[in-house]
Chain A
C-alpha cells in the first residue's frame, strides 16, 4: 500500500504545503505527486508530456483534486478520469473551498468518490485529511468506486 502514490492536483503552493503538512501529521507516508494544473494531472495519469513513458497501469492510491485549476479545470479532469477505461474506477476526492461550491457540485453527476472542504481552520483540515487517509488508504481499499460523502 505504501508504494502507491497520492496524486495531489493543486495550483496554490500554500495549499500544497498545508496539505502535505496535514498528511504528514496524520502519518500518511505515501509519496505525494503534485500536479499544478489539470493538464499536468492528466499527463501524469495517462503517461503524456513530461510523464511520457510512465507505467500508466500503476494508478495513484487516490487523487486529491482541487476544482479551480489553470489550463484544465477540476471538473474537466474528473470527466477525463471517469471517461477512460484505465482510470474510471480511480478514487477521486474533490477539495472544495466553500459550502456553496459543494452545493453546486451536488447538481452534477460527477462520479466523485468524496468531497473534502478545505477549512480555514487548519486543525479541522488536518482532521479531515486524517479521516480521508484512514478511509481511502485503510478502510475502503477494497471497493474504491463506492461513492461516499
Chain B
C-alpha cells in the first residue's frame, strides 16, 4: 500500500471520526429537538457500516481502543466496557489471537502499516473471516497520534478458496488412488500435472512435470509416433488413443494405452488437456500369446490335415493290394482252391475292406473337428425327410414308418446337421431291422425350457449299463454280424453337437427301442 493511499485512507477515517464527533456534539447541543435528527444520522451511519460490510476502528499506541468504536460495537456487539483493556481481542477467534497480537506488536514497534487476516465474532456469535489493514496516523510533528484500522469481510472469498482447495485435494486424492497414470497439460501441450502413479512407475523426481523429458521413459521405438500424435492433437484439438511402451523405474517396459482428451471453454477454445495411461501389458501379452497360439494351432492343423491325407493315401494302398490280388487269385486260380480256401480269401478281402472303412471314418472324424462351422437357420424337418427318403431308397426291402414333426428349426451348420440326421436315422433304420412294424420318430421336446430334438425308434435298443461309452469312436454294442458298422456314427454325432456347443445323450432298454436326444446349445433351437 502506497503512502499516498495510506494518507487518503487515514484522512477519510479522520474525517468520518470528526463527523461522528460533530454528530455527538450536535446531539448534545440540540438536546431538546435532537432525538429525531440524531437517531436518523446514527441510523444512516449504522446502515453505512453494515452496507459496506467493513468495520473501522482506532487504537492508541498501546493497542487500546480509546473512545467510542461505533462500527466495532455494532459488528461485534461488544459494549464499550467489553472492548476496553484489550477486551477487543475476545472478539477475535481464539486460534487467531496469537498471530494477531504478534503482527500488531511488530507493527507498533516499527510504526509501519500492517495487514493480517483473522476471524472476527459477529454479535450473533458467528465467526467470519476478515482481512485487517491498519495504518499509523501521524501528527504534524511526526509523532504517532493513533492507529486507524479497517476490517473487510472476506468470508465469501475464503469459502470459495476453501472449496477450490477441497476440490483440488479431492481431485488429487482421486487421481492418486487410481491405478492409471493421470496427467494434465496446458492448451500448448505443456505438461503441468502427473498423479502419484506416474512418479511411482517411472521413478522420476516427484513434482517434476513441466519439462519435455517425459519422452525419455517412452520406448525408443515408440517415441516418434507418440510425440507426433501428441503434437498433431495439440494442433487439431482431437481426442486420441495410442498404445505405447513406458519404462518402469526398474528398466522394464510395459504396454500402456494413452487416452488424451481436450477440455474446452464455452467459446470452444481448448483450456486444458487431460489424459490417462492405462497399463495394458497383461492384455497385450495375452493377445500376443493368443495370436502366437493361433498361429501354432493353425500350423498344427495344417500339418494334421496333410498327415491325414498322407495316411489316407498310404494306409489304403496296401489294402488295395491285399484285396485286389486276393480277388485276382479267386478269379485266376479258382480251380486250385477248395471251398475253404475261397472262403478264407473272401475273409481276407472283407477284412481289408473293413480296414479301409475304419480309415475313412477316422479321417472324417478328425476332419470334423477342424472344418469351420457356418451357422444358419436349418429346417431340420426337411433334412429328416430327405434323409428318410434316401434310406428308403437304399433299403428297398424295409418298411419303416417315419414320423417327422413339422416346423423343426435349428441354428447350426446345415451340412453338419445333415450328417447328424444321417447317422441317427441310419442307426434307427438299422436297429429296427428285426421289427415287423418299424417305427421311427423325429421331434422336439423341452427340458427346463431348453429345446431338445430327439430321434426315437422301436428297435432292438440296448442295455443302458453297457452304454457308458456309447459316443466313443469305434465303440459298438452289437456284433458286426448282427448289425454292420464301424462304430463311428455316434462319435461323429457327438462331435458335431459339441461343436455347436450342445449335448447329446440317449435313453434305451433292451428290446424297447432307443431315443437319442440332442440340444444345440442354449437358445440354439426353436420349434
CA of A14 to CA of B310 in the docked complex: distance in angstroms? Answer: 18
Asked if residues B323 and A121 are in contact (CB atoms below 8 Å), the reply is yes
A-side contacts of B321, CB under 8 Å: 14-15, 18
Q: Which A-chain residue is minimally distant from B359 (CB atoms)?
A: A98
A130 part of interface (Cβ distance < 8 Å): no
A123 part of interface (Cβ distance < 8 Å): yes
Chain B contact residues: over half helix, strand or loop, or mixed?
helix
Q: Which B-chain residue is minimally distant from A99 (CB atoms)?
A: B360
Contacts of B306-337 to chain A: CB distance below 8 A: 308-310, 312-313, 316-321, 323-328
Asked if residues A18 and B320 are in contact (CB atoms below 8 Å), the reply is yes
Contacts of A116-149 to chain B: CB distance below 8 A: 118-123, 125
Asked if residues A98 and B360 are in contact (CB atoms below 8 Å), the reply is yes
Q: Interface code B287-320, partner A: CB below 8 Å = 1, 0 otherwise?
A: 0000000000000000000001110110011111
Asked if residues A101 and B319 are in contact (CB atoms below 8 Å), the reply is no
A86 part of interface (Cβ distance < 8 Å): no
A-side contacts of B327, CB under 8 Å: 122-123
Tell whether A14 pairs with B320 under 8 Å between CB atoms, given A98-B313, A122-B327: yes
B79 part of interface (Cβ distance < 8 Å): no
Q: Which of B312, B317, B323, B356 contacts A101 (CB 8 A)?
A: B312
Asked if residues B316 and A98 are in contact (CB atoms below 8 Å), the reply is yes
For chain A, give the interface size range. Answer: 20 to 34
A100 part of interface (Cβ distance < 8 Å): yes
CA of A123 to CA of B308 in the docked complex: distance in angstroms? Answer: 26
A56 part of interface (Cβ distance < 8 Å): no
CA of A12 to CA of B317 in the docked complex: distance in angstroms? Answer: 8
Q: How far is the CB of B348 from chain A (nearest CB, A)?
A: 12
B352 part of interface (Cβ distance < 8 Å): yes
Q: How far is the CB of A49 from chain B (nearest CB, A)?
A: 27
Q: How far is the CB of A18 from chain B (nearest CB, A)?
A: 4
Q: How far is the CB of A56 from chain B (nearest CB, A)?
A: 31
A1 part of interface (Cβ distance < 8 Å): no
What count of chain B residues pass the 8 Å CB interface test?
A: 27
- Residue pairs across A and B with CB atoms within 8 Å: the count is 72
Asked if residues A101 and B324 are in contact (CB atoms below 8 Å), the reply is no
Asked if residues A14 and B312 are in contact (CB atoms below 8 Å), the reply is no
CA of A123 to CA of B326 in the docked complex: distance in angstroms? Answer: 11
A-side contacts of B356, CB under 8 Å: 119-121
Tell whether A98 pairs with B324 under 8 Å between CB atoms, given A104-B309, A120-B353: no
B363 part of interface (Cβ distance < 8 Å): yes
B-side contacts of A100, CB under 8 Å: 308-309, 312, 363-364, 367
A-side contacts of B313, CB under 8 Å: 67-68, 97-98, 101
CA of A78 to CA of B355 in the docked complex: distance in angstroms? Answer: 31
Q: Which of A17, A21, A121 contacts B353 (CB 8 A)?
A: A121
CA of A14 to CA of B316 in the docked complex: distance in angstroms? Answer: 12
Q: How far is the CB of A87 from chain B (nearest CB, A)?
A: 26
B-side contacts of A119, CB under 8 Å: 320, 356
Q: Which of A21, A67, A68 contacts B324 (CB 8 A)?
A: A21
Which of A14, A68, A104, A121 has most chain B Cβ within 10 Å? A121
Q: Which of B317, B328, B353 contacts A97 (CB 8 A)?
A: B317
Asked if residues B319 and A120 are in contact (CB atoms below 8 Å), the reply is yes
Q: How far is the CB of B324 from chain A (nearest CB, A)?
A: 4
Q: Which A-chain residue is minimally distant from B311 (CB atoms)?
A: A98
Q: Show 6 residue pairs from A and B whose CB-CB distance is below 8 angstroms, ordered by the A residue.
A: A15-B320, A98-B359, A100-B309, A122-B323, A122-B327, A125-B324
Beyond A14-B318, A100-B308, A121-B353, 13 additional contacts (C-beta under 8 Å) are: A12-B317, A14-B320, A15-B320, A17-B324, A98-B316, A98-B360, A99-B360, A100-B312, A100-B363, A100-B367, A119-B320, A120-B352, A120-B355
